Amino acid sequence: MMKLSPLLLSAAAIVGACSAGSSSTAAPADTAKLDASGAQPATPLADAPFTVQEVASFNEPWAMTFIRGTRLALVTEKSGKLKLWQEGGSTLDVAGVPAVAYGGQGGFGDVILAPDFRTSGTIYLSWVEPGAGDTFGAVVGRAKLVQGASPRIEGLQTIWTQSPKVSGRGHFSHRLAFSPDGKYLFIGSGERQKFDPAQDMKANLGKIVRLNPDGSVPADNPFAKEGGVTAQIWSLGHRNILGLAFDGSGKLWNQEMGPKGGDEVNLVEAKANYGYPVVSNGDHYDGRDIPDHPTRPEFAAPKLWWNPSVSPAGLVWYDGDAYPGWKNSLLMGALSGEGLVRMGIDGERLHKSDRWDFGQRIREVEVRDDGTVWLLTDGEGGKLLKLVPKR
């Protein structure tokens, strides 16, 4: 693995390093990869295999998960509420949730069910907490959900913390996913808009980390012997991970909000370095170049990327039958792209299969156990949308 001192990775050094290589140096031999980029034209909703039904609204909803075997879903609101929504019924506040540091991109984050939820009632939550001296960091906790007329969580335990806490309120990521065997919790930990930490093995920022369900470090993690937060690291060189999903064959995918023109979907593998901020198929928003992936083959390249950016949010694997041709796809929301992206999976290859134009920023995508797909739109008054199959 390449070692760079934190000093060499300062923003100024990146400018210098970038002058040696630009996107124009991408080898023609890389056509297959380049074909995965570029604009993806949107299909009008009229041609989609669903109609859109608006069923509820929330205040800055961020994430949701359905409770299997029910018509209930948990929805986080960024400003600090957890809601229990019932289709055709009421929306209740869940009591006992932690105080969150709300501001910028921070606040309440993800919510998922534990693999043993049916018997334990355990859920996992992520949120942002303040640190010393105007710093912030995401944390992950688990608690028992007690349902009923006055739902609440009990026994909240914090099991993971972003380290170090740093200034600013961007790029927390804090997306969660369990492996299909239920043994490991994966956490997307953003680089907090600080660039360098994504390559710093003494920080768990800009990483995907892998933990046991209780927050301890699995003995077979790739850097387990190094101890500290390094032991948590599964993969590195990430920017702002806003979706994690396992497919039906057990492969882990992530999407991340890249720099300008560099939004990515990656096949996540142990010990792999995805290159940020040393390489990206996008460039810094202030116009500074970042060398493209083909210039540095030692870094794992994205399977797909988007230029112009779509600003991904949410990622789920779809294995249902409610919409013709969707089985074995990844579904991803788009904020600036204002739509839903469907990617067909073919082994380790992904295809830009569909992109529907909703005309609204999509924050979250979920699948219910009946195969229906649901979206949350972004911001105040964000809507829960059901994609009603047309047939």
CB of 225 to Ca ion, least distance (A): 33
Q: How many helices (H) and strands (E) does the chain have?
A: 3, 25
Contact positions with Ca ion (CB under 5 A) in 39-68: 63, 65
Contact 171, 105 (CB under 8 A): yes
Site for Ca ion in 73-102 (CB under 5 A): none
Judged by beta carbon, residue 23 or residue 255, the one nearer Ca ion is 23
d(CA 307, CA 17): 22
Contacts for 274 with CB less than 8 Å, ≥ 6 apart: 235, 236, 237, 238, 264, 266, 299, 300, 302
Among 42, 290, 322, 331, binds Ca ion (CB under 5 A): 290
Q: Which x/- pattern, by CB under 5 A, does the window 110-149 give for Ca ion?
A: ----------------------------------------
| Backbone dihedral angles phi then psi of residue 117, each to the nearest 5 degrees | -55, -40
- Contact call for residue 292 and Ca ion (CB under 5 A): yes
Stretch that binds Ca ion, among 53-61, 122-130, 168-176, 279-287 (CB under 5 A): 279-287
From the candidates 171, 238, 284, 293, which is the catalytic residue? 171
Alpha helices in 274-387 (DSSP H): none
Question: Counting every residue, how long is the chain?
Answer: 391
CB 177 to Ca ion: min, Å: 9
Q: Which is nearer to Ca ion, 256 or 283 (CB)?
A: 283
- Distance (Å, whole) CA 140 – CA 178: 13
Q: Give the number of other CB atoms < 10 A from CB of residue 119.
A: 7
Which candidate, 127, 117, 111, 128, places its Cα nearest to that of 73?
Answer: 111
**Structure token pair of residue 213:** 């369900």
Smallest gap from Cβ 201 to Ca ion, in A, equals 24
Q: Kindly determine how many residues on this chain lie close enough to bind Ca ion according to the rule CB under 5 A.
A: 7
Residues 6-35 that bind Ca ion (CB under 5 A): 23
- Rounded least distance, CB 378 to Ca ion, Å: 14
264 touching Ca ion, by CB under 5 A: no
- Candidate residues 129, 200, 283, 338; the one interacting with Ca ion per rule CB under 5 A: 283
User: How big is the chain by its Cα radius of gyration, in Å?
Assistant: 20
**Smallest gap from residue 260 Cβ to Ca ion (A):** 9
**273 with 2: CB under 8 angstroms?**
yes
Q: Give catalytic status of residue 293 as yes or no.
A: no
Binding stretches for Ca ion (CB under 5 A): 23, 63, 65, 283, 290, 292, 366
Which residues are known catalytic residues?
171
